Structure 1
Amino acid sequence: MTRIDFYTDVAALYPFACRAARTVYRKGERMLIVLPDEAALRGFSAQLWAYGDTEFIPHCAASDALAAETPVLLATDFAADAEGLVLLNLSPAFPDAPQRFPRILEVVGSDDASKATARQRYRRYLDSGFEIHHHNMSDARHD
């Protein structure tokens, strides 16, 4: 069964997501990160390139020719061949066929708009029978 983790009240989304990508990569797992649009994808990719002075998180667009060999894939939709990949959702959209992912990380900012769309996704997961784990990050330092 797919594990769903909601990380809410995240003050700095991209640094938090970079750490999550690093953790998944270090575990030897692959990840699909879905962003809301191409500008966000490019911005997040730049942050992954600059993450840490001595670390490198191999990543590329899910549509890239090297996607099958790359641990972290970036996309603006859920259409990628992502069977078995960990999903990190930074978009407001609900993933199609969420059961194809062993784990889904939903990262939610502290603004009202992010919280409102996250509540809708949360309800859809519950209505689909998924167990959800909630992590309130409001007191956590994650910059």
Structure 2
Amino acid sequence: MTKVDFHILATTQENDFLTYVVRLTQKAHSRGHQVLIATDHAEQSLALSTALWGIQPDAFIAHSSVDEAHDAIQISDSEQCGTHHDVLINLRQAIPDFFSRFERVFEVVSQQPTLLTASRQRYRFYSDRGYALTRHDLRDRV
């Protein structure tokens, strides 16, 4: 059964949110995982792609859209989920229909009110269905 981790951030800022997602992606990839990042729309995918390319002045995290399907890290703002079955980082307000095919799902929680409400609904969904949930509350690290 899919294991679900909620990473609860202290921030409401989009830039801080994307920076955390990039670090989480980098960590998963460095441990040999294939990663699919599900976004709500093309603008969010573009912002994430830009963040992945610009993680450090002398480094980047290679990635592609799920349509290109040639990198271990892929981004999807559609119902396409490629061939990955390893790690899903869900940035969508809703849970993607394909989430259960992944071994791990990372939900990144912003303190922005509308996103926080959607995160609580996702948590309730997973909990009501018996998924193994782990909370990483980063608010007390600030």
Give the TM-score, by structure 1 length: 0.88
The residue aligned with 1:50 is 54
User: Equivalent residue of 1:16, what SS?
Assistant: helix
The residue aligned with 1:61 is 65
Which digits, 9 at most, give the CA deviation of each residue in 1:104-126, with x for residues without a partner? 00001012111110111111111
1:30–1:5: structure 2 CA closer, same or farther, 3 Å change rule?
A: same
Shift, 1:78, TM fit: 4.1
Give unmatched runs, 5+ long, in structure 2.
Answer: none
Count of aligned pairs: 138
Contact preservation (8 Å) 1:10, 1:16: no
Give the TM-score, by structure 2 length: 0.89
1:82–1:118: structure 2 CA closer, same or farther, 3 Å change rule?
A: farther
Shift, 1:21, TM fit: 0.8
The residue aligned with 2:22 is 18
Contact preservation (8 Å) 1:89, 1:106: yes
Contact preservation (8 Å) 2:36, 2:84: no
Shift, 1:127, TM fit: 1.8
The residue aligned with 1:30 is 34
Letter in 1 for 2:87: V
1:106 is the counterpart of 2:107? yes
| 1:41 aligned to which of 32, 45, 52 | 45
- Structure-1 separation of matches of 2:50 and 2:58: 15
User: Equivalent residue of 2:141, what SS?
Assistant: coil
Shift, 1:129, TM fit: 1.4
Which digits, 9 at most, give the CA deviation of each residue in 1:5-26, with x for residues without a partner? 0011342210000001111111
- Which stretch shifts more, 116-125 or 81-90? 81-90
Shift, 1:51, TM fit: 0.6
Q: CA RMSD in A?
A: 1.5
- Structure-1 separation of matches of 2:58 and 2:98: 37
1:9 is the counterpart of 2:9? yes
